[in-house]
């Protein structure tokens, strides 16, 4: 008998732990249908970026107004459109259309940059029919006058605010750059997060040597990047009530098995799908099943957290030992 | 049903009815009628139906001639057809109008009446266009207000069906077409009640059909033509009754009563005016005021002008009238009198009334000249004279033929309500805010409201003046506010050069947008302004709107900061109610653009009132600041006497004698208009400069100048003057300066964007950098003054094929009123740098004729020797033909000069004569040498006598044409691709030595962004609201087909060197040349000004705009087509979506946008494939074997 792949994430029952995380593929309805067909247990839509919406709206207003009512022959330069497609409507349409078309859970992703924005857009996503909302929190603590605890308080405040406004489950996609990540995760859990997604891969700026300009840059994640979520999922497993999702570096069935062993409820993939296409997903699932069968695992539930750090009283001390071993291996 | 009221302008009032009552609407943009077509197109695009439930078909044609052809065809097929036009557009429709009337085709043309171009183009209103059409056989209805335009549109559509006579419905351009007024709306049932369904069915039944074939449009001979012409008479005789009938029907339904001729005034008048159009508003008010004063005056308002209602006119004219002034808003030189005057005279004669009254004719209001109660009063005063003058003008001072009567300056009619005047910039949102205020008051209260907006002629730094009235009675004042209760100045620096407070009533409230607070502002006001404030007892308030707007991220848009201040200070609405209404209006106007925009404006409203401060006005003037003279003291006499008055806003006061008699103006006067409109200007850092000249070549306003000179030429320069060694292959020991003209720069930042020289220490710092003008203004003014005095370099010293070589030459196109970041003007400037001292320019109507030739000032300039481009604008549609005419005239002059030189060779000297006739003139040095020979020739001719005297005199006049000249035909894509294409094609096919420069913005920029055949696939434009479906026309390929036409496609922002080369080659090719120049249009493409050249780079990089030169050759085995750009390295999508014209569709209809952009990509790919193949083909221009074949210089590989 095939092993039982079912799992639970954010309280949602899933047919397997394989999810497709927020990426360009999940922004297209036809592709979403293919993803479902390929066996994904749930999808996270691309993020709704409040900053982008605001910037687009103000920019549109600026270009429509420039030159307007300045010269008698050309009082305006564009036809008055019935709708300019600004604001979150297009995204909300994606949510509701995806919900109508798919039978698997559809999780909306939100990146706002104002307190009001987090709450307002989260409510809109819920209203549009999202099964859950993933908060893609993206705060770069570049303000030298701001302390770590102030940054942490901002996170907790917005998690609490959104939690209070929503009836549906809510996940928080975390940054790995907290001084005390474990403590922060526990506090976010306590603030009402139903799931922790590890981790957010920030766009890191790059320099263009031709233009000497700062340019945004993003690369597909690499398999070695899995180690970071692996460690922290292992650390947090059993210490938070929230579901745990591994994101970053999950590239094959082995990676999925590893994060499940460490304690993840689901494994999210994006780069691997972008690289190999949607049809890669059934292969991962088949390989996972094969590995579970080869290793006599009956179910994902059985697998989940079996190699976590739960037994260790002080995970940081464990980590340090590990570090010393690593150094020693070079000698 | 409850009466619905709305505040709309005359164009919209008309278009609403026309769209409701039409099935086919053929349109073409022309000011001031364009908005009617735009609205009709937008409504059709949105699926709005007509009275019968179908969506009217709106089709944009290539010209008004085309629109009238389609109108004619649609009517012949039995459809309900209409169009909208004005001025030259109406004239282009005349041939079809005669046909349609002759065939009794029901149709309506709605005309926003505008001056026909004579000595000058004018976009403003008068009746010269409709009067030119009065013989076409169309019935003519004249509306005098926005309400009347709405109502008469219905009458016209209903009457044409019942009478079969086509109707021309007109109202005054701008004064009515653009005035916003509160009107009672017609309901569908009103329209249904007036439109005769049986007449409609009969019209349909007459439509051409092979099921009931007829022949219409025969050719007739002398035997029957005349009789057939008379056969229509009964139809015309029936028109007045039908129109009266419809007016009565309308009155019964709406309570608004009109007659063919309406009388107003005293029951027993002795003096009367007769007129039609918007002037009736001012007459109405004046008559009312005079009758109240006991004067026996009255007026006849004529509604139906054709067929002329003679009997009704005689009946409407009270028998007590003894003196009449008939007022025409047109001029018919050489006629007995103007048309309405002669019509009235004839009518009175026919009704046997002429004996009893004396009739004079008066001209008024040409080109929207103000027509005020004091002018109306002056006319009645003239009629009171014992023997009034037979022909007069009013509103001007005619000191040449003394036709004018003096205005009664002391006569004013009162106004019950609030009158307000707002001075602003086009870019600060003042007009938008005022339109909103008119709607708020007109639609949210019982008050009536009126808004009229005056724009200057600039496209950058444009000054606007809004005239608003609010009151409890319908507002008939069809003239500017003369005594304002409230005056706002949204730009503090206006106080220095405009009479902002001149229209302030005693005790009026004044609101200043001021960087100085209430306690410090007084000393920053010119003493003349202080004196006005004290003398008139004005209540002054200030707000720093810019600071607030900046704080809110709104940039220069201060509309929603200033608007609540107006409401708070004017008291037209309670403050709290006003704030709510403004926010509702913001929600309505900006809601579609997103929450962020709405909230930003809400914040502005909330914070504005807190920032408002009252100024405690001292009792005496105190300060050193004075109003600036409009032009510097060194300006020439004409500029001082005439231009300066126009710049100061006093053009209305100039007498007839101040005007050139034939529309000829001096060039180069823009340099005296110091506009000082930039907030930031570019500052040069010579330490990094690499002498490339790119900042100068791209500057749209010639405000970045490059000069190369010997070091000794800058002795005595200001200490701040910057210089560096000039690096050059051709010359050694020269210095270079890049200098900004601080008062002429618009601050667009294009120069900085293109500058390739970057600091090694500071990445953002380039060789040229935008910096706030405050710290640099006076320093750079001194530097620029000094710079102008440095002698120009000898033109023969530098290689003009290089950008820096070309940029070291003096531009003779400078400081135009073009938009900041304009993509067109850099090409014109380059043209003048390369050949400016020997070109004649034929300029099609459009943006380039407006920034190039709209008074007050002229940007086409002259060099120190007094040479420079001679420029002329004929029309929109005929520019190529006009240019050909100039060429033919020139060729004849050259031939005659050569013949006379031959004939007089003995007198001239054989050597000089031969040199004059045979010397080459292909280089600057050779041209300079020929000029010297011409000087010598003139000297030798001066002493001629006897038999030589006559020929010598003739040759002296023509001798300058022995120096090589070029004719350049310049215009936009609307001209070249659409309205003027037939002529352009003919001229290119003529084989003559002509150069055509198409400034291709891919849209009708000047009239506000309507699609042309150059508009690319997928781009949104007016008349293509959901993205243009078809690809742009490939004008270059069509011209290449001739084989002997030099064709270049250029984009300066992508390859400026190729642009320079193309200009030089086009000039050198002895035959037709066509340069198609990609010209970023900042407002119509929806891009930021500083990116003007970056957009061109991407256009080329994406393959959207391949660069090429087709160099015809008469040599063997030539490959004429040279591709100058590489295969695309960027998808069309990445180029397109950076511009609002494409991005708008991607937002509103992503699927359609995807499809169209995919097709646009295919267009680009296919074009590249096609051109690549063409580039491999050999082609030779056929010529006779014994001819020396012409070819351009060998192409050297880049």
**What pLDDT digit, counting tens, does each position of A154-200 carry?**
999 999 999 999 999 999 999 898 989 999 999 999 999 999 999 98
Domain A7-328 homologous superfamily, CATH: Aldolase class I (3.20.20.70)
User: Coil, helix or strand for B64?
Assistant: helix
- The contacts of residue B1094 (CB under 8 Å, 6+ apart) are B753, B1053
Average pLDDT of the segment spanning B9-18: 98
pLDDT of the residue at B1176: 95
Q: State pTM to two decimals.
A: 0.94
Put simply, the answer to whether A65 touches B45 (Cβ < 8 Å) is: no
Annotated catalytic, B964? no
- The contacts of residue B1074 (CB under 8 Å, 6+ apart) are B988, B996, B998, B1035, B1036, B1039, B1045, B1046, B1047, B1048, B1066
pLDDT of the residue at A85: 85
Do B994 and B1076 touch, CB atoms closer than 8 A?
no
Closest-CA distance, A223 to chain B, in angstroms, reads 31
- The contacts of residue B1101 (CB under 8 Å, 6+ apart) are B1054, B1128, B1129, B1130, B1135
Annotated catalytic, B354? no
DSSP A19-59: EE-SSGGGGSHHHHHHHHHTT-SEEEEEEEEHHHHHHHHHH
Annotated catalytic, B114? yes
The span from the CA of B938 to the CA of B957, in Å, is 9
What is the phi/psi pair of residue B592, to 5°? -65, -25
CATH classification code of B665-809: 3.30.70.20
Average pLDDT of the segment spanning B457-465: 92
Q: If we measure between CA atoms, which residue out of B768, B769, B787 comes closest to residue B779?
A: B787
Please give the share of chain B, as a percent, with pLDDT higher than 70: 99
The span from the CA of A74 to the CA of B1004, in Å, is 10
DSSP A238-295: TT-SSEEEE-SS--SHHHHHHHHHHT-SEEEESHHHHHH-TTHHHHHHHHHHHHHHHT
Average pLDDT of the segment spanning A79-101: 91
Exactly one of B64, B148, B338, B824 is catalytic; which is it? Answer: B64
CA angle B757, B676, B494 (to 5 degrees): 150
Closest-CA distance, B754 to chain A, in angstroms, reads 12
Do B159 and B242 touch, CB atoms closer than 8 A?
yes
**What pLDDT digit, counting tens, does each position of B951-964 carry?**
999 999 999 999 99
User: Coil, helix or strand for B24?
Assistant: strand
B230 burial level (CB within 10 Å; 0-12, 13-18, 19+): exposed
B1040 at interface of A, judged by CB pairs closer than 8 A = no
Q: If we measure between CA atoms, which residue out of B933, B948, B973 comes closest to residue B1084?
A: B973
Average pLDDT of the segment spanning A2-24: 96
pLDDT of the residue at B1: 65
**What pLDDT digit, counting tens, does each position of B60-113 carry?**
999 999 999 999 999 999 999 999 999 999 999 999 999 999 999 999 999 999
Put simply, the answer to whether A58 touches B553 (Cβ < 8 Å) is: yes
CA distances from B509 to A174, B466, B512 (A): 58, 16, 10
The span from the CA of B1029 to the CA of B607, in Å, is 46
DSSP B914-929: HHHHH---SSHHHHHH
pLDDT of the residue at B1198: 45
- The contacts of residue B557 (CB under 8 Å, 6+ apart) are A65, B427, B428, B429, B549
pLDDT of the residue at B1195: 65
**What pLDDT digit, counting tens, does each position of B485-510 carry?**
999 999 999 999 899 999 999 999 99
User: What topology does CATH give the domain B966-1175?
Assistant: Rossmann fold (3.40.50)
User: Where residue B1196 falls among pLDDT bands split at 50, 70, 90?
Assistant: low
Average pLDDT of the segment spanning B895-907: 97
Annotated catalytic, B879? no
pLDDT of the residue at B1188: 64
**Ranges of each domain in chain A:** 7-328
The minimal CB distance from A74 to the residues B758, B1006, B1020 is found for: B1006
Taking one residue from A and the other from B, the number of pairs with CB-CB distance under 8 angstroms is 153
Q: Count of alpha carbons within 13 Å of A130, Cβ hemisphere only?
A: 33
Say if residue B342's pLDDT is above 60. yes
Say if residue B298's pLDDT is above 60. yes
The minimal CB distance from B594 to the residues A65, A77, A87 is found for: A87
Put simply, the answer to whether B593 touches A74 (Cβ < 8 Å) is: no
User: Coil, helix or strand for B1049?
Assistant: strand
Query: Which residue is associated with the tokens 């320093």?
Result: B779
Put simply, the answer to whether A56 touches B594 (Cβ < 8 Å) is: yes
Which helix (H) or strand (E) covers residue B943, if one does? none
pLDDT of the residue at A67: 87
**What pLDDT digit, counting tens, does each position of B1159-1184 carry?**
999 999 999 999 999 999 999 998 88
DSSP A110-174: EE-SSHHHHHHHHHHHHHTT-SEEEEE-------TT--HHHHHHHHHHHHHHHHHH-SS-EEEEE
- The contacts of residue B793 (CB under 8 Å, 6+ apart) are B707, B708, B709, B734, B808, B809
Do A48 and A110 touch, CB atoms closer than 8 A?
yes
User: Where residue B2 falls among pLDDT bands split at 50, 70, 90?
Assistant: confident
User: Where residue A262 falls among pLDDT bands split at 50, 70, 90?
Assistant: very high
Average pLDDT of the segment spanning B701-718: 97
Domains B5-213+222-253 and B966-1175 share a fold: yes
Mean residue pLDDT of chain B comes to 96
The span from the CA of B950 to the CA of B962, in Å, is 19
User: Coil, helix or strand for B860?
Assistant: strand
User: Which 258-297 residues of chain B touch chain A by CB within 8 A?
Assistant: none
CA distances from B142 to A274, B116, B127, B682, B866 (A): 68, 18, 10, 53, 49
Put simply, the answer to whether B1009 touches A65 (Cβ < 8 Å) is: no
Closest-CA distance, A126 to chain B, in angstroms, reads 19
User: Coil, helix or strand for B298?
Assistant: strand
B1041 burial level (CB within 10 Å; 0-12, 13-18, 19+): exposed
Strands B768-772 and B680-684: antiparallel
**What pLDDT digit, counting tens, does each position of B243-258 carry?**
999 999 999 999 999 9
CATH classification code of B5-213+222-253: 3.40.50.970
What angle do the packed helices B595-611 and B575-590 form, to 10 degrees? 150
Strands B839-843 and B139-142: unpaired
The minimal CB distance from B426 to the residues A60, A71, A79 is found for: A71
User: Which 441-480 residues of chain B touch chain A by CB within 8 A?
Assistant: 453, 455, 457-459, 462, 464
User: Coil, helix or strand for B1154?
Assistant: helix
The span from the CA of B1108 to the CA of A60, in Å, is 34
The span from the CA of A248 to the CA of B525, in Å, is 64
What angle do the packed helices B575-590 and B559-570 form, to 10 degrees? 150
Rg (C-alpha) for chain B, rounded Å, is 32
Put simply, the answer to whether A67 touches B819 (Cβ < 8 Å) is: yes
Query: Which residue is associated with the tokens 């209409």?
Result: B82
Say if residue A326's pLDDT is above 60. no
Say if residue A314's pLDDT is above 80. no
Average pLDDT of the segment spanning A96-125: 94
Instruction: Annotate A222-248 with b (16+ C-beta within 10 A) or e (fewer).
Output: eeebbebbbbbbbbbbebbebbbbbbb
Q: If we measure between CA atoms, which residue out of B632, B628, B583, B629 comes closest to residue B604?
A: B583
B1038: number of Cβ within 10 Å:
17
Say if residue A329's pLDDT is above 70. no
**What pLDDT digit, counting tens, does each position of B635-679 carry?**
999 999 999 999 999 999 999 999 999 999 999 999 999 999 999
Put simply, the answer to whether B1148 touches A63 (Cβ < 8 Å) is: no
Say if residue B153's pLDDT is above 80. yes
Contacts 24+ apart (CB under 8 A), B954-957: B954/B896, B954/B900, B955/B897, B955/B900, B955/B901, B955/B904
Exactly one of B16, B114, B306, B705 is catalytic; which is it? Answer: B114
B557 at interface of A, judged by CB pairs closer than 8 A = yes
Strands B448-455 and B463-471: antiparallel
User: Where residue A331 falls among pLDDT bands split at 50, 70, 90?
Assistant: very low
pLDDT of the residue at B60: 97
Say if residue B595's pLDDT is above 90. no
CATH classification code of B260-405: 3.40.50.920
What angle do the packed helices A227-236 and A253-262 form, to 10 degrees? 30
Put simply, the answer to whether A71 touches B600 (Cβ < 8 Å) is: no
User: Where residue B121 falls among pLDDT bands split at 50, 70, 90?
Assistant: very high
pLDDT of the residue at B171: 98
Put simply, the answer to whether A69 touches B600 (Cβ < 8 Å) is: no
Q: If we measure between CA atoms, which residue out of B695, B643, B818, B846 comes closest to residue B746?
A: B818
User: Where residue A327 falls among pLDDT bands split at 50, 70, 90?
Assistant: very low
**Ranges of each domain in chain B:** 5-213+222-253, 260-405, 418-614, 665-809, 891-962, 966-1175
The CATH class of the B418-614 domain is alpha beta
- Write out the E strands in B986-1095: 995-1000, 1046-1050, 1073-1078
pLDDT of the residue at B1197: 47
Average pLDDT of the segment spanning B202-219: 97
Residues of B in contact with A54 (CB under 8 A): 594, 596
Strand arrangement of the beta sheet that strand B735-740 belongs to: B704-709, B735-740, B724-725
């Amino acid at each position: 008998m095939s092993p039982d792949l079912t799992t639970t994430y954010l309280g949602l029952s899933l047919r397997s732990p394989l999810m497709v995380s927020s990426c360009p593929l999940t922004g297209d309805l036809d592709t979403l249908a293919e993803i479902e067909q390929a066996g994904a247990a749930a999808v996270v839509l691309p993020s709704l970026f409040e900053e982008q919406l605001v910037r687009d709206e103000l920019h549109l207003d600026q270009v429509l107004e420039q030159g307007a009512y300045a010269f008698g022959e050309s009082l305006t330069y564009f036809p008055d459109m019935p709708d300019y497609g600004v604001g979150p409507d297009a995204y909300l349409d994606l949510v509701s259309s995806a919900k109508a078309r798919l039978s698997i859970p559809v999780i909306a992703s939100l990146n706002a940059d104002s307190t009001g924005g987090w709450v307002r857009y989260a409510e809109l996503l819920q209203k549009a029919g999202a099964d859950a909302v993933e908060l893609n929190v993206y705060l770069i603590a570049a303000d030298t006058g701001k302390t770590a605890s102030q940054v942490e308080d901002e996170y907790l405040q917005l998690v609490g605010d959104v939690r209070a406004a929503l009836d549906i489950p809510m996940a928080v996609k975390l940054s790995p750059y907290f001084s005390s990540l474990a403590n922060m995760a526990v506090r976010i859990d306590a603030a009402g997060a139903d799931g922790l997604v590890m981790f957010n891969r920030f766009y890191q700026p790059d320099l263009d040597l031709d233009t000497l300009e700062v340019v945004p840059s993003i690369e597909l994640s690499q398999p070695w990047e899995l180690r970071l979520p692996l460690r922290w999922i292992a650390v947090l497993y059993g210490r938070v009530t929230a579901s745990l999702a591994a994101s970053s570096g999950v590239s094959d069935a082995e990676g999925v098995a590893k994060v499940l062993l460490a304690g993840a409820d689901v494994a999210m993939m994006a780069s691997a799908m972008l690289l190999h296409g949607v049809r890669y997903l059934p292969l991962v699932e088949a390989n996972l099943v094969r590995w579970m069968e080869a290793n006599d695992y009956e179910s994902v539930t059985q697998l989940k957290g079996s190699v976590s750090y739960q037994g260790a009283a002080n995970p940081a001390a464990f980590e340090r030992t590990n570090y010393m071993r690593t150094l020693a291996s070079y000698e | 049903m409850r009466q619905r009221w709305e505040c709309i302008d005359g164009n919209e009032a008309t278009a609403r009815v026309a769209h409701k009552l039409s099935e086919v609407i053929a349109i073409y943009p022309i000011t001031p009628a364009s908005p009617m077509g735009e609205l009709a197109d937008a409504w059709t695009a949105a699926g709005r139906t007509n009275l019968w439930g179908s969506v009217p078909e709106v089709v944009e044609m290539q010209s008004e001639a085309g629109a009238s052809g389609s109108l004619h065809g649609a009517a012949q097929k039995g459809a309900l057809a209409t169009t909208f036009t004005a001025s030259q557009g109406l004239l282009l429709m005349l041939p079809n109008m005669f046909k349609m009337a002759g065939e009794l085709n029901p149709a309506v043309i709605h005309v926003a009446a505008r001056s026909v171009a004579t000595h000058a183009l004018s976009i403003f209103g008068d009746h010269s266009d409709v009067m030119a059409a009065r013989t076409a056989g169309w019935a003519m209805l004249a509306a005098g207000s926005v309400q009347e335009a709405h109502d008469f549109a219905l009458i016209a559509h209903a009457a044409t069906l019942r009478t079969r006579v086509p109707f021309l419905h007109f109202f005054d351009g701008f004064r009515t077409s653009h005035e916003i007024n509160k009107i009672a709306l017609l309901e569908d049932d009103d329209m249904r009640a007036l439109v005769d369904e049986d007449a409609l069915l009969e019209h349909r039944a007459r439509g051409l059909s092979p099921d009931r074939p007829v022949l219409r449009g025969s050719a007739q001979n002398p035997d029957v033509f005349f009789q057939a012409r008379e056969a229509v008479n009964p139809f015309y005789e029936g028109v007045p009754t039908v129109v009266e009938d419809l007016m009565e029907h309308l009155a019964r339904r709406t309570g608004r009563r009109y007659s063919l001729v309406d009388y107003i005034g005293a029951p027993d008048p002795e003096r009367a005016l007769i007129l039609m159009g918007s002037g009736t508003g001012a007459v109405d008010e004046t008559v009312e005021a005079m009758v109240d004063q006991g004067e026996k005056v009255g007026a006849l308002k004529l509604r139906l002008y054709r067929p002329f209602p003679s009997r009704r006119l005689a009946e409407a004219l009270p028998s007590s009238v003894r003196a009449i002034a008939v007022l025409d808003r047109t001029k018919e030189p050489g006629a007995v009198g103007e048309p309405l005057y002669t019509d009235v005279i004839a009518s009175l004669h026919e009704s046997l009334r002429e004996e009893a009254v004396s009739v004079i004719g008066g001209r008024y209001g040409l080109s929207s000249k103000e027509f005020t109660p004091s002018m109306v009063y002056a006319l009645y005063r003239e009629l009171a004279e014992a023997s009034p003058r037979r022909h007069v003008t009013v509103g001007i001072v005619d000191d040449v033929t003394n036709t004018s009567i003096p205005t009664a300056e002391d006569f004013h009619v009162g106004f019950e309500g609030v009158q307000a005047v707002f001075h602003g910039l086009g870019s600060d949102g003042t007009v938008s805010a005022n339109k909103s205020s008119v709607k708020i008051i007109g639609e949210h209260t019982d008050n009536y409201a009126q808004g009229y907006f005056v724009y200057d002629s600039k496209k950058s730094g444009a000054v606007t003046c809004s005239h608003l009235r609010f009151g409890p009675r319908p507002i008939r004042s069809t003239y500017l506010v003369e005594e304002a209760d409230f005056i706002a100045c949204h730009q503090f620096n206006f106080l220095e050069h405009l009479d902002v407070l001149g229209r302030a009533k005693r005790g009026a409230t004044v609101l200043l947008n001021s960087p100085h607070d209430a306690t410090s502002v007084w000393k920053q006001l010119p003493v003349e302004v202080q004196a006005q404030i004290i003398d008139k007892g004005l209540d002054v308030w200030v707000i720093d709107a810019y600071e607030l707007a900046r704080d809110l991220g709104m940039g220069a848009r201060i509309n929603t900061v200033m608007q609540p201040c107006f409401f708070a200070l004017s008291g037209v609405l309670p403050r709290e109610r006003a704030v709510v209404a403004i926010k509702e209006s913001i929600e309505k106007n900006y809601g579609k653009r997103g929450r962020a925009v709405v909230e930003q404006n809400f914040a502005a409203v909330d914070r504005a009132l807190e920032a408002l401060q009252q100024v405690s006005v001292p009792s005496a003037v105190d300060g050193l600041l004075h109003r600036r003279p409009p032009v510097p003291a060194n300006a020439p006499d004409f500029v001082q006497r005439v231009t300066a008055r126009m710049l100061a806003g006093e053009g209305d006061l100039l007498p007839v004698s101040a005007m050139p008699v034939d529309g000829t103006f001096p060039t180069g006067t823009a340099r005296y208009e110091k506009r000082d409109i930039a907030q930031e200007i570019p500052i040069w850092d010579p330490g990094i400069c690499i002498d490339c000249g790119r900042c100068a070549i791209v500057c749209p306003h010639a405000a970045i100048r490059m000069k190369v000179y010997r070091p000794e030429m800058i002795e005595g320069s200001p200490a701040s003057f910057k210089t560096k060694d000039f690096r050059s292959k051709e010359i050694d020991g020269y210095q270079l300066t890049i200098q900004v003209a601080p008062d002429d720069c618009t601050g667009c930042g294009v120069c900085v964007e293109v500058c390739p020289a970057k600091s090694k220490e500071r990445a953002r710092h380039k060789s040229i950098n935008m910096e706030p003008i405050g710290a640099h203004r006076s320093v750079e003014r001194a530097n620029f003054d000094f710079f102008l005095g440095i002698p120009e370099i000898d033109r023969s010293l530098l290689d003009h094929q290089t950008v820096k070589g070309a940029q070291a030459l003096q531009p003779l196109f400078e400081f135009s009123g073009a938009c900041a970041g304009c993509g067109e003007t850099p090409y014109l400037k380059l043209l003048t740098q390369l050949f400016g001292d020997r070109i004649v320019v034929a300029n099609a109507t459009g943006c380039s004729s407006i920034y190039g030739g709209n008074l007050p000032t002229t940007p086409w300039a002259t060099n120190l020797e007094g040479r420079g481009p001679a420029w002329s604008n004929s029309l929109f549609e005929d520019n190529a033909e006009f240019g050909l005419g100039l060429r033919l005239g020139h060729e004849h002059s050259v031939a005659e000069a050569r013949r006379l030189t031959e004939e007089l060779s003995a007198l001239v000297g054989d050597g000089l004569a031969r040199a004059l006739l045979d010397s080459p003139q292909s280089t600057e040095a050779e041209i300079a040498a020929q000029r010297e020979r011409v000087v010598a020739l003139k000297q030798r001719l001066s002493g001629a006598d006897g038999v030589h005297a006559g020929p010598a005199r003739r040759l002296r006049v023509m001798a300058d044409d022995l120096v090589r000249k070029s004719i350049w035909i310049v215009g936009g894509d609307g001209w070249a691709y659409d309205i003027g294409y037939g002529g352009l094609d003919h001229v290119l096919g003529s084989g003559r030595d002509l150069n055509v420069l198409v400034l291709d913005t891919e849209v009708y920029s000047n009239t506000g962004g309507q699609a042309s055949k150059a508009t690319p696939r997928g781009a949104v434009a007016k008349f293509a609201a959901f993205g243009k479906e078809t690809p742009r026309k490939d004008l270059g390929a069509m011209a290449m087909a001739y084989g002997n036409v030099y064709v270049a496609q250029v984009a300066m922002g992508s390859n400026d060197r190729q642009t320079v080369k193309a200009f030089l080659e086009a000039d050198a090719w002895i035959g037709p040349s066509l340069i198609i120049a990609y010209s970023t249009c900042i407002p119509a493409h929806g891009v930021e000004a500083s990116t003007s050249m970056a957009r061109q780079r991407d256009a080329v990089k994406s393959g959207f705009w391949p660069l090429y030169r087709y160099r015809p050759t008469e040599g063997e085995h030539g490959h004429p087509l040279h591709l100058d750009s590489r295969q695309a390295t960027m998808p069309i999508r990445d180029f397109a979506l950076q511009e609002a014209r494409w991005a708008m569709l991607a937002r509103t209809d992503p699927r359609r946008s995807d499809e169209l952009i995919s097709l646009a990509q295919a267009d680009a790919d296919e074009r590249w494939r096609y051109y690549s193949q063409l580039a491999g083909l050999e082609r030779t221009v056929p010529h006779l074997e014994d001819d020396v074949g012409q070819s351009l210089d060998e192409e050297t590989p880049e």
